[in-house]
Amino acid sequence: MEELCPGLLYMFISRGTTIGKKGNRSSSAIFFIGDELTKERIKNLTKTKSGEICQKNQRRSKWIKFLQKSKLQINISAKQRRDLIQWASKTVINVNVTKKNIEDDSWRQCNNTNY
């Protein structure tokens, strides 16, 4: 399951709404029963049974490294930062202005942009 959908087990467990019935905790939404789901598998969901890193986890790691490497570095002074925070805390944009800004596509370079 985790090999095909990294993070899916965490999602299942985090959505559990019950811890089971008194005297029978195995009826809880957080327990999954099966031959494949052992304590060791839960401890390291990024590896296959043979111990290899799952392909989707490898791809995710590669994507994260790319994003970290490609991150735009913005260098502003402490004063510019304070001024920006002060401006943002005082700026209020009403619903009409927001709708107008959302509908305005004049900033686009071409009509083929996905956004």
Kindly list the domain boundaries of the chain, sorted by start residue: 1-91
Residue 47 pairs with which residues in a beta bridge? 53
Residue 21 pairs with which residues in a beta bridge? 24
- pTM beyond 0.85: the answer is no
Q: How confident is the model at residue 82 (pLDDT cuts 50, 70, 90)?
A: very high
pLDDT per position as a tens digit, 14-39: 766 666 677 776 666 566 556 666 67
SS3 89: helix
* Helix (H) / strand (E) containing 100: helix 95-103
pLDDT per position as a tens digit, 90-106: 988 889 988 888 888 77
